[in-house]
Amino acid sequence: MHKRFIKKLSRGEPPNDLGQHFINNRNLIEEIVIRANINKDDMVLEIGAGKGALTMVLSKKAGKVLAVEYDEKLVNILEQKTAQASNVKIIQQDILRMRMPKESFVVVSNIPYDITTPIMKRLLMNPFSGFQSGVIVMEYGAARRFTSTFIKNDYVLVWKMWYDVKYVRKISREFFSPRPRVDSAMVKITRKKTPVISYKDVYAFYGLAHYALKKPELPIDMALYGIFTKPQIKMLKRKLRIRSEKPIGTLNEYDWGIIFQTMVQYVPRPRWPRTPKKRWFEVL
């Protein structure tokens, strides 16, 4: 999933090769942990633990902390720093190849810029995982894209069917070392108490999202042409209370829930759009 980084990773080169920028502001670290609202019943997964500034604060709040870090030099620092913290487990692993915990867990992390999207896909694409909530610091542009009301990417739409992904605030590049070229942002993720569609329909829904969002600026009629007949699209627009030629990318997750249920009810299964298995495995 991140071929251009494999050579660098294999040599154990400095973490900023992966876009890692460590938080150097104590108040920001405290704010992240407070917003995560964790307690002694929680298991926290920290991705890209770095030198352990966030890890140490998490160890005082959570029942268990899984601190994941790839760089061997940083792992040595983490092991020394957390030697007295019995609830911290240091894991030297590539997060994009690591199996997610089966039990419920919370993510509190400052994730590497250059693999932000693959990390988010690993966390959010599989609704059957134990991931419950998280507060994640990421590159500003990615944060705005993931939380925009105009949905351009099929995978972002899939996330919204099971999770609320909310923009919290912008974070100045001055709070990081080494200083990045762009600002960061804080994003909060919470699993929906009631999913918009059933978890078992994840693959079928992804096929619909992948088909309809190839050109998110297209009006609904054109974007859904080939799945629904003209009479079905008229019925669908009545359900959605849409009269104008509204771009498909402006619909929210609940509108998409109506589209999916209408497809299931009225469209013969052979006409359902399919997602190539290769495409599906690329996002997991």
Contact 120, 90 (CB under 8 A): no
Query: Residues 165, 29: one domain?
Result: yes
Among 191, 226, 260, which residue terminates a domain?
191
Alpha-carbon distance of 162 to 174, in angstroms, equals: 34
Among 165, 191, 217, which residue terminates a domain?
191
Query: Residues 231, 182: one domain?
Result: no
Query: Residues 33, 98: one domain?
Result: yes
Q: Could you give the number of structural domains in the chain?
A: 2
What token pair was written down for 122? Answer: 């690993």
Alpha-carbon distance of 242 to 236, in angstroms, equals: 9
Give the pLDDT of residue 94.
94
Give the pLDDT of residue 5.
39
Closest CA to 178 of 32, 19, 28, 58: 19
131: containing domain: 3-191
CATH number at 67 reads 3.40.50.150
Average pLDDT for runs of 10 along the chain of length 284: 39 45 95 97 96 96 96 94 96 93 95 93 94 97 97 96 98 94 96 96 94 96 94 94 89 97 96 75 54
Contact 67, 78 (CB under 8 A): yes
Alpha-carbon distance of 280 to 203, in angstroms, equals: 8
Among 191, 223, 240, which residue terminates a domain?
191
Give the pLDDT of residue 284.
55
Exposure string (b/e) for 94-107, b if CB count within 10 Å is 16 or more?
ebbeeeeeeeebbb
